[in-house]
Amino acid sequence: MLQDDNKDELDKDLIDLDLDGNLSSSKNSINKEKLSLKMKLKSLKEKYIIISPFNNYNDFYDFSNKTTFKLIWVYSPAKIRYENYIKKYNDKDYERFLDKDYNINKINNLRLLQENSFIQINNEGNLDEFYIKINKLYNYFCENVRPQWDDYFMSIAHIVSNRSNCIKQKVGAIIVKNNRILSTGYNGTPSKLTNCYEGECPRCNSDNINQGEDLDKCFCIHAEENALLEIGKSLSENATLYTTVYPCLLCSKLIIQCGINKVIYDRDYKTEHTDYILNKGKIIIEKWKKKTSL
């Protein structure tokens, strides 16, 4: 989705390409970078890729479940939107600008569009800088038509976390070897007990306990524990564990003892001594890096 003024210029330039990929207009001044980008975009078009703007959530909705569809969110900071507003409407009234800006967002459900985007582009510079970002996007897109393995497994761990019954936080973990999933786990009370969110675990249901405190009094089994319990030490040896949250001290001990080689986690979670024992246990630990903006 290309949202603002630069979109019009980019579209105009794209239209300037004739069928052989030559520039049909007399824009001799156009630099090589732009030309090579245009050739790339043309080759994308030849591979049946259509670039089209969406201005509201409803238009996008029909495409949202298509496997090969990617929504790109292009945005500008408020300061630049205000400057564009002044130019467009010859009006310097900041309150009126804010009103209009807010209403456009609300009526068109733009927040939902943004939340559903594959990647975001901050369009805060001039047109040349925008072209450079589009160029990066092209390269990124070519590499990520299918998700990379880490992104694939982490997104599955996040889906697994949805089954959690813990009132404090939802966590998901999966154990992977040779790019095959061996087991999954989410956090919650043991199977014959009532769910944590129904009041079973006094620790999780207390308002006075901070993150990482009194874990030894918790009734909930952690996502990593459940995933490791499922397959035991013999199958976990040299596998990678993906977890949506950095492991706690207890899970770290189990991770080492089960022979897990590597842990990839998403959100940070601080508990005492965990870094130390994961280090001592020679666990390779990586924070998952999802590319979300250019």
Interface residues toward Zn ion, by CB under 5 A:
166, 196, 201, 204, 220, 222, 248, 251
Q: Tell the smallest beta-carbon distance from residue 15 to Zn ion (Å).
A: 56
Of 74 and 255, nearer to Zn ion (C-beta) is 255
Of 121 and 255, nearer to Zn ion (C-beta) is 255
Q: Tell the smallest beta-carbon distance from residue 271 to Zn ion (Å).
A: 8
Of 11 and 275, nearer to Zn ion (C-beta) is 275
Active site residue 143: no
Q: Tell the smallest beta-carbon distance from residue 155 to Zn ion (Å).
A: 21
Q: Tell the smallest beta-carbon distance from residue 247 to Zn ion (Å).
A: 5
Instruction: Write down the residue that tokens 């992977």 correspond to.
Output: 176
> What 3-state class would DSSP assign to 114?
helix
How many Å apart are CA 84 and CA 73, to the nearest integer?
A: 18
Of 75 and 247, nearer to Zn ion (C-beta) is 247
How many Å apart are CA 255 and CA 240, to the nearest integer?
A: 10
Instruction: Write down the residue that tokens 């927040």 correspond to.
Output: 111
66: alpha, beta or left? (left if phi > 0; alpha if psi -120 to 50): beta
| E-strand stretches of the chain | 72-75, 119-122, 172-177, 180-186, 240-245, 262-267, 284-287
Phi and psi angles of residue 222, each rounded to the nearest 5 degrees, phi first: -80, 160
Of 176 and 227, nearer to Zn ion (C-beta) is 227
Catalytic hit among 9, 115, 224, 272: 224
Q: Tell the smallest beta-carbon distance from residue 183 to Zn ion (Å).
A: 16
How many CA atoms lie less than 13 Å away from 218 in the CB half-sphere? 23
> What 3-state class would DSSP assign to 197?
helix
Residues designated catalytic: 224
